[in-house]
Structure 1
Amino acid sequence: MSGKLRAAIIVVSDTASKDASTDKCIPALRQVFTTGGGDRWTAEETCIVSDDVLAIQRAITGYTDVEDFANLIITSGGTGFAQKDVTPEAVTPLIHKHAPGLVHGMLAASLQITPFAVMSRPVAGVRNKSLLITLPGSPKGAVENLQSILKLLPHACQQAAGADSRTLHIGGTQKLEKDAGVQVASATKSGAHPHHHNHGNRHGHGGHAGPVAHTKPEDRPISNDPSAGPTKRYRDSPYPMLAVDEALSLIAQHTPVAEVIDVPVDQNLVGCVLAEDVTAREAVPAFRASIVDGYAIIASDHVMVPSTKGIFPVVSISHAEAKEVPELSIGEIARITTGAPLPNGATAVVMVEDTLIRSTRDDGSEEKEIEILTSEIKAGENVREVGSDVEAGAVVMRRGEGITSVGGEFGLLASVGTQTVKVYRQPIIGVLSTGDEIIPHDRPGELRLGEVRDTNRPTLLTAIRNSGFQAVDLGISSDKPGALEETLRSAMRSVDVIVTSGGVSMGELDLLKPTIERQLGGTIHFGRVSMKPGKPTTFATVPFKTNDGERMSKVIFSLPGNPASAVVTYHLFVLPALHKMSGINPVGLPRVSVVVEQDVRCDTKRAEYHRVLITVGSDGALRASSTGGQRSSRIGSFKGANGLLCLPTTQEMVRKGERCEALLMGMPGSVL
């Protein structure tokens, strides 16, 4: 790594979050980096948050889960035993690799100053490529803890960021200590048994391997290890509980950008979104054309041109076809049909309703002379001039506009001679169910004990196709080790997004998260959301290399197995990602205001999405009626539902007649 290391400082304090002028930690910690950091650090990025788990986690992931990550994030405050001290509880689930050595180093240094250091609960570890360290809330304690380990942190941050360990360790431990400017312990110098600097999976001391504790929080960097057996699996999820808005933000951040492709202008264009402006190659119309059935004439105010009223010979006929029409001279007219080109020399068209036949040709098949009954025809009347609809070179459609089956966009592009356009490629979505208990919904015969008919897969396939996207049925995957990995690897060769249902909870056979992380090398951006239904919803990206060697990311949404949860989370989380990948903006379901038709109880801790039927009342207002019981396994709650009521967590009840926001899944019906 080159350049200075970036440190971010997060102060956790209810008081300072309301009045930043009361904070003394940020300037004190910045001074430590300036005076003791050996010109290795910048510490310009700071923020202050309240003593709230979600607020702390949002602040940290804002520095760690981004491309331009901070090398070091230190928090100050919330590490004691007070009721509101929740910083360790917020930070611990975020850590992928714990660093107990740094914790011991800080505690050892603090204990030399005060015995009350044992009352602190520091946490340290690595998330993604960033090092996280929690410090006490007092400026003095925070400074002392940071000073005790600051010289060791550049080495830790370089390793966390991906620097080559072999290169860093050339010269051994003594060189590392010398470069860091730290003194070797006197006991080691005098020949006492040394502490071996070991960067592997085991930390040796005296040559004896220490025990592996499977149930402590610091040993929960990623999902359950299926090979460890049920007795070793976590009792709590290692994934932090995110707010819905934060989950949506991560989806927007990590969903691949829309890919631009060239496609021909044909019926397959319907549903695509333009990736660039389209200009007209040709004028519409490309020639002067009649807008009525009648007679092309020469109308003018010039003294040499007679009045349009009178009897005139019909010298030619112009139909709507590619055919040359003789030029008109003064005093001559030509029969013309709607859309046909005007003969050269003609300046106007008189409607057939304003004429009479005065004579015919010998065989009686054609007019010979026509009487025009009015003298009011002006030049340009009933004529569609070249480019009067669309001028050549004019922008006919803008980037971001979609091609619909009813809007006439396809006809417009075709009319101006457009052969190909640039559009955003629509993603292909694969839908997979998981579990040995799942059977096809249409399998004949009675269910055996433990079997469950697969309702999620056909339901999700239908929802995706109704949203305008191509959906591929990936079938049902077994819970057997390796089967899910093989299915996912195969699917990634043919689809862009994989949507699964089931297997995302904490059971020993819930294999999706461990398969994504351990076998596929993917990143789980969130594994739990503070909502109902749908808490275990998981969003991940997996690196993938095409046959051409191109590297890209594939998206995996692992939705809960309960039917209602799967459908709600599809609309809430999957659809915005599909919209982004297709260039559709704004993304996600439209949000509307509705009048609630009955009392609805709210969950004051988790965001709830209540299935409702939205109709248009006689007064024009949108009204929402509950579809009944909202248990996450109750797919019947979606019968007739065309909206999701977004219940607030700030009140216990939304009363009948009150307004509430809702997400519109389909067109509202009407009520007389």
Structure 2
Amino acid sequence: MSISSKLRAAILIISETASKDPTTDKGIPALQEVFASSKGGGKWLVDETRIVPDDVLDIQSAISGWADGEDFRNLVVTSGGTGFAQKDVTPEAVTPLVHKHAPGLVHAMLATSLTVTPFAMMARPVAGVRNKTLILTLPGSPKGAKENLEAVLAQLAHACQQAAGADSRTLHAGGTQKLEKEAGLQPGLQDTSVTSHHDHSHHHGHGHGHGHGGHSGPKAHTKPEDRPPVSNDPSAGPTRRYRESPYPMLSVQDALKQIDEHTPTPRVIKAAVNDDLVGSVLAENITAREAVPAFRASTVDGYAIIASNHIMVPSTKGVFPVTGISHAQPGQVDALQIGEVARITTGAPLPPKATSVVMVEDTVLRSMTDDGNEENEIEILTDAIKDGENVRDVGSDVKAGDVILRKGEGITAVGGELGLLASVGTQEVLVYKKPVVGVLSTGDEIVPHDRPGELQLGEVRDTNRPTLLTAIKGSGFEAVDLGIASDKPGALEETLRAAMRTVDVLVTSGGVSMGELDLLKPTLERSLGGTIHFGRVSMKPGKPTTFATVPFKTNTGADESRVVFSLPGNPASAVVTYHLFVLPALHKMAGVSPMGLPVVKVVLEQDIRMDAKRAEYHRVVVTAGRDGLLHATSTGFQRSSRIGSFKGANALLCLPTREGSLRKGEKVDALLMGKIVSEL
């Protein structure tokens, strides 16, 4: 079809935000993509786009300009303003313009949206013809608008041709089968699948992800090409679900690259210098505001004196009157004269004119004051006291203006960094914000681990959530308990949306495999507009691990991205994949370097079999041997559902993909999760 013979379409975005800043709009490119896709059949030319605020007159003016007169557009699609918010006025603006209403198109769009989320019933779409122009109102969400347009676009060419005045008898010659064929539809069948914004069908994961039990080594006995066509639409029922994951199998290293590429960069915030700073990473160099010490101070308990190498002091040996006292507390100290001493404590300022301090061990008491409460005279037993002896000069620890801590350094719980900041009077610093991590279990069969009473048939106690919460807190991050989410699509979507308002990173467990109730992946893609960067990893345990990012608008209107890790439901898999994948992302967001667990070389204490198809992360106990080497002992049976394989484990052996076994005494890389046990 030539450009001149194509149907002309216009796109109208209705948004207060985008009307002020068009660069924020994502609706126009999303809809243009639909027109240019196979759904459009090469029949459309989008030659007009416009953005207006939520104003009835502005909306009507734009549509009338495209629908009235000889130079009309065949189709006008709007996006935005069809909800129940007070500012949503699109239906009120469009309805008076329509000469012929098209309830069938409205029904088709709503029916499609309801397969994605029950909240589609809250939309108020309008469809109809004004003069020779078909008008269609779509949701404001780019994803929702795209799905609604995709649901009806194949049939719109026929409707627009009729509206423009084409002869109906000619158009309908050959019956509905001919029309369906021309529209690219399979005759006799309705296309009920909805394409996601990634231009591939939605899908579930691999084997049931809630499996807190399970068995080892599941194996399919059929080939993908021998299986019937499927859909990931939850409303299509279990008979239509995917039976082979469409996600490519990534290596662990490729998965880590995806995480590094798509995890948001650290955010810089201002923080007070107190114990809440522990675990944070500095986002700036810190310069000392003050010298430490800020005055000449004594390093010992003793007596301040003018040293004997002073021109007017013949000797420091002999009996001296005690004329003053200098304690390590604020206060004025009188100047010292030649032939006098002042009692002084460690850390106290030297009296003016004093040059040195004699240790109390080098003196004896000779007399007391008349009231017997104070020293009157002391005798110094040495003549070797030099200038500056037992004295800490101004700035000898830290000079004012010195860089005391550098960008990228962490504030540890040992206390040295916090003490250094406090010593120079630093009150606030710029640090990288530590992400807040939410932990959510999914599945109607999951019950709280501490629920009293016996389990009913099919119920499983929630092992993963308390385990992951503990691991996150142990890594130095704030963990938020988000409870247990239902497997129902609408409930899961609302739980995820609510969670993203309070956390930066969302860690879920379960629901990422191939069961009919494993809805996390389709919910992330279809309902939340997220991007799944990987849905399978070639490793054991943890094959169905999923990493996604979801666009999110804050209360202030800022566009951000939420990071989502959907971990397998098997307990050991969840813990392994947390340490392997989630922790590096948290480190990146918090500015921690290097990211992830430290790698150490360990000596095997027994033979360990490898897997010929997948890399394995074997739970072990690492001990420091008397030979100066680190030794690794397996925790036993490694089935992914066996959380007991983590009992006592402080490391993960990194076993390569290879036939056969590694032998006792061989050295292997291990990821260190905890403290090393010593045999000494």
Q: Normalising by structure 1, report the TM-score.
A: 0.69
1:209 maps onto 2:185 in alignment: yes
Matches within 5 A, 1:276-355: 276-355=284-363
Contact 2:185 2:191 in 1 (8 A): no
Distance in 1 of aligned mates of 2:672 and 2:343: 55
Structure 1 counterpart of 2:119: none
Q: Percent same amino acid at aligned positions? A: 71
Distance in 1 of aligned mates of 2:473 and 2:531: 27
Residues paired across the two proteins, number: 484
Structure 1 counterpart of 2:616: 608
1:587 maps onto 2:595 in alignment: yes
Matches within 5 A, 1:505-654: 505-654=513-662
Q: Please, which runs of 5 or more residues in structure 1 have no aligned partner?
A: 1-96, 103-161, 166-192, 195-201
Contact 1:284 1:388 in 2 (8 A): yes
Structure 1 counterpart of 2:375: 367
In the TM superposition, residue 244 of structure 1 has moved relative to its aligned partner by 0.3
Offset from partner CA, 1:503-546 (integer Å, 9 cap, x none) = 00122211100100000000000000011110100000000001
Distance in 2 of aligned mates of 1:525 and 1:208: 31
SS in 2 for 1:576: helix
Distance in 1 of aligned mates of 2:626 and 2:361: 46
SS in 1 for 2:254: helix
In the TM superposition, residue 220 of structure 1 has moved relative to its aligned partner by 4.5
In the TM superposition, residue 212 of structure 1 has moved relative to its aligned partner by 6.6
Q: 2:663 aligned to 645, 655, 672, which one?
A: 655
Offset from partner CA, 1:260-302 (integer Å, 9 cap, x none) = 1101111111111111111111111100011111111111524
Distance 1:208 1:664, change over 3 A: closer
Offset from partner CA, 1:405-463 (integer Å, 9 cap, x none) = 22422111111100101111111111101111111111111111111111111111111
SS in 1 for 2:589: helix
Q: Which amino acid aligns with 1:512?
A: L
1:406 maps onto 2:382 in alignment: no
Structure 1 counterpart of 2:399: 391
In the TM superposition, residue 213 of structure 1 has moved relative to its aligned partner by 7.8
Structure 2 counterpart of 1:221: 201
Q: Normalising by structure 2, report the TM-score.
A: 0.68
Distance 1:328 1:206, change over 3 A: closer
Distance in 2 of aligned mates of 1:657 and 1:213: 61
Distance in 1 of aligned mates of 2:577 and 2:179: 43
Distance in 1 of aligned mates of 2:623 and 2:360: 50
SS in 1 for 2:602: strand
| Mean Cα deviation higher: 495-504 or 323-332 | 323-332
| Mean Cα deviation higher: 320-329 or 518-527 | 320-329
In the TM superposition, residue 99 of structure 1 has moved relative to its aligned partner by 6.7
Q: 1:435 aligned to 443, 446, 452, which one?
A: 443
In the TM superposition, residue 321 of structure 1 has moved relative to its aligned partner by 1.3
Distance in 2 of aligned mates of 1:101 and 1:262: 51
Structure 2 counterpart of 1:496: 504
Offset from partner CA, 1:231-269 (integer Å, 9 cap, x none) = 222221111100000000110111111111101111111
Distance 1:354 1:629, change over 3 A: same
Offset from partner CA, 1:30-65 (integer Å, 9 cap, x none) = xxxxxxxxxxxxxxxxxxxxxxxxxxxxxxxxxxxx
Contact 1:213 1:219 in 2 (8 A): no
1:462 maps onto 2:470 in alignment: yes
Distance in 2 of aligned mates of 1:601 and 1:530: 17
Distance in 2 of aligned mates of 1:602 and 1:100: 48
In the TM superposition, residue 214 of structure 1 has moved relative to its aligned partner by 8.7
Distance in 2 of aligned mates of 1:548 and 1:203: 48
Q: CA RMSD in A?
A: 2.7
Distance in 1 of aligned mates of 2:475 and 2:259: 18
SS in 2 for 1:482: helix
Distance in 1 of aligned mates of 2:40 and 2:501: 43
Structure 1 counterpart of 2:492: 484
Matches within 5 A, 1:95-114: none
Contact 2:610 2:616 in 1 (8 A): yes
1:242 maps onto 2:218 in alignment: no
Distance 1:291 1:428, change over 3 A: same
SS in 1 for 2:441: strand
Contact 1:98 1:219 in 2 (8 A): no
Distance in 1 of aligned mates of 2:452 and 2:375: 75
Distance in 2 of aligned mates of 1:658 and 1:98: 56
Distance in 2 of aligned mates of 1:373 and 1:338: 20
SS in 1 for 2:255: helix
Offset from partner CA, 1:454-513 (integer Å, 9 cap, x none) = 111111111111111111111111111200000000011111111000000122211100
Distance 1:99 1:295, change over 3 A: same
Q: Which of the pair has the greater relative contact order for Cα pairs under 8 Å at 6+ separation?
A: 2
